[in-house]
Structure 1
């Protein structure tokens, strides 16, 4: 996940992280990052399979800013609370 100069987050996937970051910094990345340079890497995960990485990319793209920031700040325990569709099932 990249943080852009305007404070927005960009989530993508790649098979070569260092190369892709350089491409984004040089304005050769996504349209969003081109508009808001410079960018900085704030979070990443490694996957053995590209389909798993792509699934995770799409999942995170659908998250709220607060939920992305919890992930970035390693606050995994509050991620369920920040889910838009999270339902609290209380036992009677």
Structure 2
């Protein structure tokens, strides 16, 4: 005995799959140092000191004399810092 599936269910499943496939991946945005300073509120020397200590996202080399940071990585770092603040207890 054959099972009948309504055409609307087939169309919905098909269009749902197509929507997922055609959805663009999140775009990476590069931020240069002045924007990083403005976004984080940190000074240039503090940013590079944190980089040396391994406590800040690594930049991406764009050319022989230029670097930039990936926006989402900096945002994740800021979110993590804020989350750790929320976990601290005031004694």
**TM-score past 0.5 threshold:** no
Structure that is richer in helix per residue: 2
Q: TM-score range by the shorter chain?
A: under 0.3
Could you say which structure has the larger radius of gyration? 2
Give the TM-score, by structure 2 length.
Answer: 0.23
